[in-house]
């Protein structure tokens, strides 16, 4: 008897070995229609594979991250089949799934222009409409090589596989491709395709190899989903933080420092407002704030494990002939702080915050505005505690994160990431740490998904993925539970029994990278920050030269109340000045002319139209001061 434990904990029993596809069908024929692949004992598997022993099984669909990959991987084969119809002599190389779609690298001299792209898309739709079943088969290496007698790329890939290994292929409508899978059961579920772009790419990313054509595409079960995705991309272009950051004079990236952003005065206002909010919340919740050095010696990083597990992402220097590293993380400095004096159980939990500047080596091709940089500030905190305080501290951090994200109108989902292959520590420590995170999430009632093997090298973690205004997801906050570094740094506290004990440590960030969080907020708000974050909160626009003195009197009232404001008295038409300030996303424009002078008022033009028309100046000031103080959206 084979026992199959499903995601909800229920168990199904089968007398004989059975495919995961048939298990899905036994649960619901509708589930099989939607299924793309399976997760078996934490590993992604093809639905065609057989359960011949007790397993834990999750049937994945397009709604799951790994389910999408199987869907898009299948779509890349459909695109390759269509390419060969129109370019029969093209040499196929690889066609993996990537974020938001797939690509296929091909060796061809043919011009893949808009006319050919339209033909390819039509052929891909026709292939799916025909609904061909996809078959998987394996061959020994010699027969596999014989399948591609004139394709040196496939031959290279096959020759690299271990001797004696059966090599897998997938086939649809007579189109056969070398592939490890997994793939859909048929091409029918792929309802809509779009070829996004064509670019050049060296074979295997090596500039000494031949330049290939990389055809990028995406696909969805339904045309409506594709249309929504394409509309989101158009909206994302308008919200691009790199474009808005320059227009709103928030930050710039210069060729003298790729990946090292320059924050301009407007950007520093946003940064400092975020920091003020962060410090206010953390002071309330009992955190103390420290600052640790940016450069520390090799011995420290060897002790922390970063030298062995994170070296490729670090920058190094020598001081007095001794190796030093620029910190990629703040935690070792936080541990040194903890060890500066002895501690009692009465002091725990000890909550220690740090806005630390860290540097990480990123490949130039991975850099992306503020989203992926080489230096950034982390709103770090390290909590030192006893094992029986784990649940309460995790719950407290989750509540804090929820408060922060709600302040910006951001919803989120959580992922529990478990032990990676490259890790340190005992199985027992990892089990205690993972169960501590899991039980805290369940106590709170927060839904989460498990991301197997994606924890930090020193402990499991909970990642918070934020959903922005146009439906995109960003990973920001994280909570990592660590029993390894306190051991490596010999951290101790004296317990109620008078004996020395080892504390448990939480690493956590709410914003994550503050630079990246600002980039996310720029795009989330399309540059139109809520008033409390806006670099300029109000601009006074005199109708003519005769109204300038009154405009500056209004400005004094605004500034005295702490409102960031300015007067726009440029020698331009009033309509032009209004449009310019609209483009700068200023929350409030206050037009002043004869009537406003006579009434001691301002004519309000609000970005969100919550205030419109004439209003006594004092009344406007009171309203905006309250809006800023409450940090309203």
Residue 607 exposure: Cα atoms within 13 Å on the Cβ side: 24
Homologous superfamily of the 2-61 domain (CATH) = Beta-grasp domain (3.10.20.30)
Q: What is the CATH number of domain 66-223?
A: 3.30.980.10
Query: Which residue among 382, 508, 564, 605 is the active-site one?
Result: 382
Decide if 78 contacts 172 (C-beta within 8 A): yes
What percent of the chain is predicted at pLDDT more than 70? 100
* For residue 349, cis peptide bond before it (omega within 30 degrees of 0): yes
Instruction: Please say if the pLDDT value at position 597 is more than 90.
Output: yes
Based on the residue annotation, tell me whether 241 is a catalytic residue of this protein: no
DSSP per-residue string spanning 206-256: -TTSPEEEEEEEEEESSHHHHHHHHHHHHHHHHH-HHHHHHHTTSEE--TT
List every span in the chain annotated with CATH 3.40.50.800.
538-629
Instruction: Please say if the pLDDT value at position 612 is more than 80.
Output: no
Decide if 585 contacts 529 (C-beta within 8 A): yes
List every span in the chain annotated with CATH 3.10.20.30.
2-61
Q: What is the CATH number of domain 538-629?
A: 3.40.50.800
DSSP per-residue string spanning 434-454: HHHHHHHHHHHT--EEEETT-
Among the residue ranges 177-191, 363-377, 434-448, the one predicted with the least confidence is: 434-448
List every span in the chain annotated with CATH 3.30.930.10.
245-524
- Neighbour-count burial for 79-94, b at 16+ CB within 10 Å, e otherwise: bbbbbbeebeebbbbb
Q: H-helix or E-strand containing 488?
A: helix 485-488
| Distance, CA of 34 to CA of 263 (rounded, Å) | 47
Based on the residue annotation, tell me whether 30 is a catalytic residue of this protein: no
Query: Which residue among 66, 374, 377, 378 is the active-site one?
Result: 378
Name which of 562, 347, 578, 384 is nearest 489 in CA terms: 384
Decide if 374 contacts 367 (C-beta within 8 A): yes
Cα separations in angstroms, 164 against 157, 460, 469, 531: 15, 37, 52, 66
Query: Which residue among 154, 507, 508, 605 is the active-site one?
Result: 507
Decide if 37 contacts 72 (C-beta within 8 A): no
Structure tokens at 424: 């340190």
Q: Rounded mean pLDDT of the chain?
A: 93
Instruction: Please say if the pLDDT value at position 623 is more than 80.
Output: yes
Q: Which are the contacts of 320, defined by CB distance < 8 A and separation ≥ 6?
A: none
Q: What is the CATH number of domain 245-524?
A: 3.30.930.10
- What is the value of pTM for the model shown? 0.82
- Which tens digits make up the pLDDT trace of 450-471? 888 888 877 889 999 998 888 8
pLDDT for 610: 66
Based on the residue annotation, tell me whether 378 is a catalytic residue of this protein: yes
| Distance, CA of 98 to CA of 106 (rounded, Å) | 16
Provide the edge-to-edge strand list for the sheet that holds 35-40: 11-14, 2-6, 55-61, 35-40, 43-45
Average pLDDT over residues 92-114: 95
Query: Which residue among 37, 45, 179, 331 is the active-site one?
Result: 331
- Which tens digits make up the pLDDT trace of 306-341? 998 889 999 999 999 999 999 999 999 999 999 999
| Pairing status of strand 251-252 against strand 262-263 | antiparallel
List every span in the chain annotated with CATH 3.30.980.10.
66-223
- Which tens digits make up the pLDDT trace of 482-501? 888 999 999 999 999 999 99
Based on the residue annotation, tell me whether 331 is a catalytic residue of this protein: yes
Average pLDDT over residues 42-60: 93
Query: Which residue among 154, 306, 360, 585 is the active-site one?
Result: 360
Instruction: Please say if the pLDDT value at position 609 is more than 80.
Output: no
Query: Which residue among 46, 105, 177, 380 is the active-site one?
Result: 380
Give the SS3 label for residue 595: helix
Q: Which are the contacts of 522, defined by CB distance < 8 A and separation ≥ 6?
A: 239, 241, 244, 245, 248, 250, 370
Average pLDDT over residues 361-390: 93
Based on the residue annotation, tell me whether 225 is a catalytic residue of this protein: no
| Distance, CA of 170 to CA of 161 (rounded, Å) | 17
pLDDT for 97: 95
Phi, psi dihedrals of residue 179, rounded to the nearest 5°: -170, 140
């Amino acid at each position: 008897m084979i026992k199959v434990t499903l995601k909800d904990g229920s168990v199904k029993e089968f007398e004989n070995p059975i495919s995961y596809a048939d298990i899905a069908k036994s649960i619901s024929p509708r589930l099989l229609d939607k299924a793309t692949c399976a997760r078996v004992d934490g590993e992604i598997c093809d639905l065609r594979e057989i359960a011949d022993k007790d397993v834990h099984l999750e049937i994945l669909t397009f709604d799951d991250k790994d389910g999408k990959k199987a869907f898009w991987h299948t779509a890349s084969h459909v695109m390759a089949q269509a390419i060969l119809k129109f370019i029969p002599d093209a040499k196929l190389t690889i066609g993996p799934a990537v974020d938001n779609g797939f690509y296929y690298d091909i060796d061809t001299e043919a011009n893949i222009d808009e006319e050919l792209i339209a033909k390819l898309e039509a052929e891909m739709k026709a292939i799916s409409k025909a609904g061909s079943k996809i078959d998987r088969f394996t061959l020994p290496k010699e027969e596999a090589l014989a399948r591609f007698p004139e394709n040196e790329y496939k031959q290279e890939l096959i020759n690299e596989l271990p001797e004696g290994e059966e090599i897998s292929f997938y086939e649809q409508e007579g189109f056969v491709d070398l592939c490890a899978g997994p793939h859909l059961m048929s091409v029918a579920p792929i309802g809509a395709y779009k070829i996004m772009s064509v670019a050049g790419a060296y074979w295997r990313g090596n500039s000494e190899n031949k330049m290939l054509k990389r055809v990028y595409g995406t696909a969805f079960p339904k045309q409506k989903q594709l249309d929504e995705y394409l509309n989101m991309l158009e909206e994302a272009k308008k919200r691009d933080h790199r474009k808005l950051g320059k227009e709103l004079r928030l930050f710039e990236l210069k060729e003298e420092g790729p990946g090292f952003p320059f924050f301009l005065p407007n950007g520093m206002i946003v940064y400092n407002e975020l920091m003020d909010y962060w410090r206010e919340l953390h002071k309330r919740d009992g955190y103390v704030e420290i600052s640790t050095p940016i450069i520390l010696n090799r011995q420290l990083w060897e002790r922390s494990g970063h030298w062995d597990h994170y070296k490729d992402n670090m920058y190094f220097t020598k001081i007095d002939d001794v190796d030093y590293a620029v910190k990629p993380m703040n935690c070792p400095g936080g541990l040194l702080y903890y060890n500066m004096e002895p501690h009692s159980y009465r002091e725990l939990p000890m909550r220690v915050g740090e806005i630390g500047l860290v540097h990480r080596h990123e490949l130039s091709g991975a850099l992306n505005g503020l989203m992926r940089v080489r230096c950034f500030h982390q709103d770090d905190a390290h909590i030192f505690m006893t094992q029986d305080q784990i649940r309460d501290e995790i719950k407290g951090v989750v509540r804090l994160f929820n408060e922060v994200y709600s302040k910006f109108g951001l919803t989120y989902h959580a992922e529990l990431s478990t032990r990676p292959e490259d890790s340190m520590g005992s199985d027992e420590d990892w089990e205690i740490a993972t169960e501590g995170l899991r039980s805290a999430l369940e106590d709170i009632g927060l839904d989460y998904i498990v991301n197997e093997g994606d924890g930090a090298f020193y402990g499991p973690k909970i990642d918070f993925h934020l959903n922005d205004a146009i439906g995109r997801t960003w990973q920001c906050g994280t909570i990592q539970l660590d029993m390894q570094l306190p051991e490596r740094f010999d951290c101790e506290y004296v317990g109620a029994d008078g004996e020395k004990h080892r504390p448990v440590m939480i690493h956590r960030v709410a914003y994550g990278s503050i630079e990246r969080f600002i980039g996310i907020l720029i795009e989330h708000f399309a540059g139109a920050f809520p008033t409390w974050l806006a670099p300029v909160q109000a601009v006074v626009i005199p109708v003519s030269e005769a109204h300038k003195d009154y405009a500056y009197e209004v400005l004094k009232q605004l500034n005295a109340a702490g409102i960031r404001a300015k007067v726009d008295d440029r020698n331009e038409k009033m309509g032009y000045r209004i449009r310019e300030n609209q483009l700068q996303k200023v929350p409030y424009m206050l037009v002043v002319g004869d009537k406003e002078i006579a009434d001691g008022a301002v004519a309000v033009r609000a970005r969100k139209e919550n205030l419109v028309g004439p209003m006594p100046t004092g009344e406007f000031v009171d309203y905006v001061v309250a809006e800023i103080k409450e940090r309203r959206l």
